[in-house]
C-alpha cells in the first residue's frame, strides 16, 4: 500500500499549508456569493425546474410568470455564480484554508435553499414517492409500477419513461420509502421535503466520515469535503435532486472508513446496508475483503472471509425479510432496469452512435441499435477487466483509491450513465491524494450541467461527436506512456 501523503497541520489539528485556517472574512465573500447563486437557481427553478405536475402546479413559492428564455438565462446565470463561488472557496481549500467546522457552515448555508426549493435536474424523487406509495398500499414495487396508482398529479410528475417501470432499488430503500410516505401526509411538496430529509442522512454520514478517512490517509479533510460534499454535483444530486445515491455514498464512506481503521465488523454491516440501497455498493465489500485477505497475517485471513460472507449475508437477508417483498431485487430484471434509457453522455452510447455513422458513411449496411449494443458490451467488458485488475492489485496500492477508481470504471463502462452516479467513486477519491486532481474538480463542478433543470438530458443530436472524441482522447492519454499506472498509484495526482 502506498505511503500516505504528508500534510502540515495547524495547531488546532486541521491541515493547513500555511498556518491556521484564514479568518471568516477571507471565506465570507465566496460563501455569500454561493448563497446568492443557490437562491437564484431555486427561484428560477420554480418555473423551469422539475416542479410537480408540470403545467398544472407550482412549488409552494414561485417567481411571477415570465418568459421561459429569460428564466433560463437567470437560472444559468445563477448557476454560474454558484459554481464560481465553489471554485473560489476551493482556492482557499487548496491552501489548507477550509476547516471542517467551516465546511459544515457552508453546507448549511448553501444547502438550505436547495432543500426548500423545487427539485432541479431530475424527477427521480417522484418515482421514489410512487414506489413508496405502492409498498404502503401493499403492492410489490418490484412487480408493480407507479402507473398502478392511477392518474394523479404524482403520476404526471414522474418522468414518462419511468411511469411503467418497477423499482430497481434494494430493500432498504424501498423500506425507507414506505416509511417516508406513511408519515409525510398526502401533500406532494411535503413528501418531497421528507425524502430530502431522508437523503440528508447520507450527506451527514459523508460530512462525518469523509474528514476522518482523509485524516487516516494523511490528506486534507477540508479539501476532501470541498470536493466530495460541497461541490455543485454533490449539492445538486444529494439535496436538490434528492437522489438515493446520497444514502449509498454515505454508508459507503462510513463503511470504508471503519475498514481502513481495522473495525471490520462495523465496516461490513455498513457496506452491506449500502448494498441494500443499490447493488453496485457490493464492490466495496469485495475490495475490502480481498485487501484484508491478502494481509501478511495469514492466521486471520479465513476469519476475514467468514466475517465478510456471514455479516453481509445476515444483513442482506434481514433487510430483505423486513421489507417483505422477497429477493426479486437481486434478479436480472431489477439489474437491467437502470440500463433501459440510452443517453448520449453515456460514453458507450456515444461511441456506438459514432461507429454506426462511420460504418454507414463507408457504405456498410448496419442498423443503429445493434451497433450501439455491441459497442456497449465491448466497453462493459473493458470496464470489468479494469475493475478485476484493480482488485487483483489492491494490496499493492491504496485500498480507497483503488475502490474509488473501480466505482468510476463501473459507472463509465455501464450502459447508462447519469451524472450523480459519478459521486460513488468521486467521494472516496476526495479523501485520497487525488483530491487535488483538476479533472475531478471539473467533473464535480460541471457534470450536472449535462442535464437541464427540468431533468431532461442536454446532450442530444450531434453531441455524440463531442462525447466520443473526448472518450477516445482520454483513452489515448491513459494508454500513452502507461499513464494509467500513475493514475492508479497516485503519482499522476
**Is residue 446 situated within a structural domain?**
yes
> Does residue 98 lie within any of the structural domains?
yes
Q: Mean pLDDT over all residues of the chain?
A: 88
Q: Is 141 contained in some domain?
A: no
Domain containing 431 equals 24-123+190-489
- Of the candidates 80, 81, 42, 35, the one whose C-alpha atom is nearest the C-alpha of residue 60 is 42
Q: What is the pLDDT of residues 368-415, one digit of tens each?
A: 888 988 998 899 999 999 999 999 988 778 899 999 999 999 999 988
User: How far is the CA of 444 from the CAs of 73, 120, 280, in angstroms?
Assistant: 22, 16, 20
Least confident of 139-153, 220-234, 283-297: 283-297
Q: Is residue 115 part of a domain?
A: yes
Nearest Cα to Cα of residue 100 among 11, 205, 15 = 15
Please count the structural domains in the chain: 1
Is residue 9 in a domain?
no
pLDDT at 299 over 50: yes
Examine residue 290 and state whether it is found in any structural domain, yes or no: yes
Is pLDDT at 458 greater than 60 in this prediction? Answer: yes
The sign of the CA dihedral 189, 190, 191, 197 is positive
Mean per-residue pLDDT, 459-470: 80
Whether 314 maps to a domain, the answer reads yes
Confidence of residue 447 (pLDDT cuts 50, 70, 90): very high
Residue 292 falls in which region: left (phi positive, over 0), alpha (psi -120 to 50) or beta: alpha
The answer on pLDDT for 7 being more than 70 is: no
Q: Which grid cell is 91?
A: 482556492
Sign of CA dihedral 251, 252, 257, 262: positive
Q: Given this model, what pLDDT does residue 111 score?
A: 97
Residue 412 within any structural domain of the chain:
yes
Amino acid at each position: 500500500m502506498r505511503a500516505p501523503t504528508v500534510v502540515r497541520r495547524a495547531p488546532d489539528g486541521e491541515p493547513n499549508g500555511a498556518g491556521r485556517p484564514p479568518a471568516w472574512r477571507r471565506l465570507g465573500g465566496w460563501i455569500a456569493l454561493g448563497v446568492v447563486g443557490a437562491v437564484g437557481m431555486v427561484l428560477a427553478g420554480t418555473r423551469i425546474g422539475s416542479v410537480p405536475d408540470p403545467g398544472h402546479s407550482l412549488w409552494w413559492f414561485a417567481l411571477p410568470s415570465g418568459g421561459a428564455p429569460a428564466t433560463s438565462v437567470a437560472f444559468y446565470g445563477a448557476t454560474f455564480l454558484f459554481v464560481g463561488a465553489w471554485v473560489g472557496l476551493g482556492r482557499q481549500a487548496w491552501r489548507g484554508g477550509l476547516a471542517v467546522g467551516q465546511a459544515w457552515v457552508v453546507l448549511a448555508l448553501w444547502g438550505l435553499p436547495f432543500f426548500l426549493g423545487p427539485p432541479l435536474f431530475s424527477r427521480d424523487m417522484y418515482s421514489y414517492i410512487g414506489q413508496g406509495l405502492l409498498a404502503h398500499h401493499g403492492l410489490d414495487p418490484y412487480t408493480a409500477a407507479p402507473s398502478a396508482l392511477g392518474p394523479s398529479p404524482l403520476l404526471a410528475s414522474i418522468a414518462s419513461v419511468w411511469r411503467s417501470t418497477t423499482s430497481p432499488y434494494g430493500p432498504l430503500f424501498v423500506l425507507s420509502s414506505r416509511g417516508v410516505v406513511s408519515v409525510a401526509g398526502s401533500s406532494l411538496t411535503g413528501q418531497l421535503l421528507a425524502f430530502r430529509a431522508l437523503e440528508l442522512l447520507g450527506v451527514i454520514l459523508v460530512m462525518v466520515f469523509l474528514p476522518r478517512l482523509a485524516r487516516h490517509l494523511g490528506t486534507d479533510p477540508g479539501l476532501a469535503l470541498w470536493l466530495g460534499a460541497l461541490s455543485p454535483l454533490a449539492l445538486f444530486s444529494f439535496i436538490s435532486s434528492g437522489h438515493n445515491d446520497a444514502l449509498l455514498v454515505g454508508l459507503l464512506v462510513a463503511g470504508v472508513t471503519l475498514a481502513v481503521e481495522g473495525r471490520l465488523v462495523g465496516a461490513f454491516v455498513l457496506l452491506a446496508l449500502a448494498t441494500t440501497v443499490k447493488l453496485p455498493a457490493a464492490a466495496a465489500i469485495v475490495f475490502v475483503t480481498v485487501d484484508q485477505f491478502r494481509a501478511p497475517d495469514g492466521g486471520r485471513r479465513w476469519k476475514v472471509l467468514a466475517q465478510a460472507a456471514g455479516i453481509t449475508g445476515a444483513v442482506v437477508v434481514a433487510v430483505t425479510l423486513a421489507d417483505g417483498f422477497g429477493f426479486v431485487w437481486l434478479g436480472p430484471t431489477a439489474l437491467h432496469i437502470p440500463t433501459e434509457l440510452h443517453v448520449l453522455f453515456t460514453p458507450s452510447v456515444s461511441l456506438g452512435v459514432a461507429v454506426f455513422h462511420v460504418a454507414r458513411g463507408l457504405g456498410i449496411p448496419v442498423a443503429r441499435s445493434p451497433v450501439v449494443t455491441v459497442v456497449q458490451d465491448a466497453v462493459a467488458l473493458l470496464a470489468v477487466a479494469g475493475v478485476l485488475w484493480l482488485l487483483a492489485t489492491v494490496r499493492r496500492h491504496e485500498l480507497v483509491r483503488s475502490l474509488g477508481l473501480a466505482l468510476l470504471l463501473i459507472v463509465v463502462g455501464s450502459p447508462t450513465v447519469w451524472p450523480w452516479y459519478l459521486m460513488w467513486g468521486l467521494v472516496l477519491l476526495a479523501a485520497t491524494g487525488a483530491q487535488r486532481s483538476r479533472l475531478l474538480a471539473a467533473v464535480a463542478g460541471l457534470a450536472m450541467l449535462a442535464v437541464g433543470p427540468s431533468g431532461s438530458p442536454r446532450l442530444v443530436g450531434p453531441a455524440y461527436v463531442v462525447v466520443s472524441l473526448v472518450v477516445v482522447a482520454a483513452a489515448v492519454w491513459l494508454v500513452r506512456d502507461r499513464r494509467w499506472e500513475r493514475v492508479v498509484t497516485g503519482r499522476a495526482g
